[in-house]
Amino acid sequence: MTEPTPAQERLHQLWAEIRDLDSALATLEWDQETFLPEGGSAARGRVLATLTGIRHQRLTSPALADAVARVEAEAPPGSLAADQARVARRDLERATRVPEELARALALAKSQGVAAWRRAREASDVRLFERELAHLVELKRQEAAALADGGAPYDALLDEFDPGSTEAALVPLFAGLRRDLVPLLDRVRGSAVTVDEDPARGSFPVEPQRRFGAAAARAIGFRFDAGRLDLSTHPFCTGIARTDVRMTWRYQEDDFRPGLFGILHESGHGLYEQGLPPELDHTPLGRDAGSAVHESQSRLWENHVGRSRGFWRWALPRFRAAFPGTPADLDRLWPTLHVVRPSFIRVEADEVTYGLHIAIRFEIERALFAGRLGAVDLRDAWNQLYRELLGLEPARDAEGVLQDIHWSLGLFGYFPTYALGSMAAAQLFATAHRDLGDPEELFARGDFAPLLHWLRERVHAHGARWTRDELLARATGAPLSPDALLAHLREQVEAVYGGR
């Protein structure tokens, strides 16, 4: 290890303060979603706005710009210090390129957007949200143009969540997904097999569900001395620090699946946060490599581990102990974890149809930002795509175009990361499978450490140093492709719906 130079020390010191503000914000936001009394929300809103303002000032301060420029000038290209400066530069440019007036207008448009979206969803009428949505899209176009600095606006939005991502690179990925998922869905529809879901249904009281879920999280490596699990309306995971990772879950009393797979999903996010390299703490690189990579970790543990036979060979005796009287044996239980059923609602979708829900949102966002679609065309475009890809037509906007909160918050360019995460998860797992031998045998013994260790080395240890494709190329030998995901899904559909 070489000693840090004075310029590197200065950058580190200034960045550590920004990270501390991030931690404070994350703690307050976590609290808002879990324990904050209803009456406290206005006061909390103020505190969050103040801290966000201070963070913006720090990020755009001349002192930080100077420190970054000095490190850039002295660090050899490709060195860790140069990469620290590169990522810091990216964040501070994003923060400075958007004029303050536009940032304020956007903040206002978002709060008006969410309020209008809630009213519209309540009334199940997208027209009540059209005006606010059109305004948001217009402001986001301006923001994207400012961020893109001459490049394509929608790319600037994608890049915020998945660094390096471009529309041109995503189009063939999603085309591949659509081309193969639609016939796969036809295969399920044409099958004579109906999965008996009784083994997954019954009475699952909350406390045993929590204990069983937490035991599974602990078994795969989540450290509860550096994390927590609490209830919330919408499950999420937030890394306040590498040593303080908060996840939340929700449950259904009559079906154990949403609760357990929610916990395994958030644990995957949590393992990533807990696995970030200590030597990069408080530095620009001491964080995740973007939402797509983050989602690859959650999907991997949820779907490739949690829904595997190996995992359940280990879990079943524990499951029976947690829920006495459950009749399930593995051959009856396993198919219930792989039911494929086209539905209107993204968050309830199975592994096969999920990618199609995202492909629809990607199509619509692209068209919105290319000016091919306006807010008034949204319902028709949405319903037509659902007919085309999933064979369903939403009868009500509430279960159609109004189901997700994202767009009302100005979150455009975020949806694709969900599907990219599924593709990356499958690609990583297929490589781990090759490197580790049959992981199912390890899982059956409750031995999840070799897989976690593999992910630590290939993914977690690099923090934000590489883009999604650089990381995948290093870990798996190739940039992102839908192939591994499609192979995984075909195998699963054949096993469950292939019939006798």
Cite the active site residues.
266
The answer to the question of residue 467 lying near Zn ion (CB under 5 A) is no
> Looking at 291, 298, 308, 353, which residue binds Zn ion (CB under 5 A)?
298
Single out the segment in contact with Zn ion by CB under 5 A; choices: 85-93, 187-195, 242-250, 296-304. Answer: 296-304
Interatomic CA distance for residues 324 and 48, integer angstroms? 45
Query: Smaller CB distance to Zn ion: residue 284 or 306?
Result: 306
CB nearer Zn ion, residue 8 or residue 422: 422
Please, what is the minimum distance in Å from the beta carbon of residue 420 to Zn ion?
12
Write out the binding residues for Zn ion, residues 105-124 only, by CB under 5 A: none
Stretch that binds Zn ion, among 42-50, 171-179, 297-305, 316-324 (CB under 5 A): 297-305
From the list 106, 427, 150, 437, the residue with the least C-alpha distance to 292 is 427
Give the residue with the Cβ less far from Zn ion, 55 or 294: 294
Name the pairing type of β-strands 244-249 and 237-241: antiparallel
- Residue 326 or 427: which CB sits closer to Zn ion? 427
Shortest reach from residue 268's CB to Zn ion, in Å: 8
Window contacting Zn ion (CB under 5 A); options: 5-13, 75-83, 206-214, 294-302 = 294-302
**Would the CA dihedral through 165, 170, 172, 176 be positive or negative?**
positive
Q: How far is the CB of 64 from Zn ion (least distance, A)?
A: 31
Least separation in angstroms between CB 265 and Zn ion: 6
Closest contact distance (angstroms) between CB of 261 and Zn ion is 11
Q: How far apart are CA 98 and CA 249, in angstroms?
A: 35
The nearer residue to Zn ion, 296 or 427, going by C-beta atoms, is 296
Q: Which listed range, 38-46, 292-300, 304-312, 484-492, lies at the site for Zn ion (CB under 5 A)?
A: 292-300
Comparing CB distances to Zn ion, the nearer of 268 and 335 is 268
Number of residues that bind Zn ion (CB under 5 A): 1
Binding mask 327-366 for Zn ion (x = CB under 5 A): ----------------------------------------
C-beta separation of 200 from 255 below 8 A: yes
Choose one: 291-299, 337-345, 361-369, 485-493; the region binding Zn ion (CB under 5 A): 291-299
Task: Identify which range of 36-44, 70-78, 182-190, 290-298 contacts Zn ion by CB under 5 A.
Answer: 290-298
CB 236 to Zn ion: min, Å: 8
For Zn ion, the binding residues in 207-226 under the rule CB under 5 A are none
Cβ nearer to Zn ion, comparing 128 with 263 = 263
479-492 burial, b for 16+ CB within 10 Å, e for fewer?
A: ebbbebbbebbbeb
Nearer to Zn ion, 248 or 298 (CB): 298
CB of 208 to Zn ion, least distance (A): 25
Which residues bind to Zn ion, rule: CB under 5 A? 298
